[in-house]
Amino acid sequence: MTTMDYTEVKKGMIAVRYRNEQNETRLAGIAACKLAGLNNRAVECYAGSGGLTEIYQQNFVEVINNDLNPESVAQYNFKAIDFIKKIVTQLDKIDMIDFDCYGSPAFEIQEFFKDAARHAPFVLALSDGFGMNLKYSKKEIPIRSRYLIEGELDTHKIWLRHADLIDNLLVKLSSQQKLQATKICAIQTKSKNYILAAYVVK
């Protein structure tokens, strides 16, 4: 997978009061939407306290969000996979969708892609915190089914290839829908626990 030329994307990135790695990837996604004229609807599957919601509200006509916690800022309080099945599937065109998960949103992303082709082009942003599991779990963890890995899988220090696992997932899911995913940017946190990334899918 190639990374989109980041120069033009950076030109469109807005300033925010609190700049961090998470915001950096989301701003890149928003900038890519702006370059493509996609600014109507953003969807957050894990809204939490609303740190990203404010940024999306500044840049999209409509923001639809969800969080399991009923005390969050979200409009809906479903498990993310149920939110996708019950709400997202009923929406018209989505320009940007955000999977800002504390754990791994891989299965939720797989569910979204079952109906993703009708939204293309769109930007998908994610936070995947599965790195700690890849490093420390002594149990058998579903790496293959989570990231759609086929063939041989070398699990030695696999957390160092966390970003490659996510790339594989997005490439496979996009290809199944006759789409192509292009990575705009990706950041692995210093702890190696999180990958923060944004992709254009078209």
pLDDT of amino acid 14: 56
**Residues 66-119 pLDDT 10s:** 999 999 999 999 999 999 999 999 999 999 999 999 899 999 999 999 999 999
- Which listed CATH number (3.40.50.720, 3.20.20.80, 3.40.50.150, 3.55.40.10) goes with 6-201? 3.40.50.150
**Mutual angle of helices 162-176 and 106-113, in 10-degree steps:** 10
pLDDT of amino acid 13: 58
161: helix, strand or coil:
helix
User: Is residue 9 very low, low, confident or very high in pLDDT (cuts 50, 70, 90)?
Assistant: low
Taking the C-alpha atoms of residue 146 and residue 196, their distance in angstroms, rounded to an integer, is 17
pLDDT of amino acid 151: 83
Residue extents of the structural domains in the chain: 6-201
177 in Cβ contact with 198 (< 8 Å): no
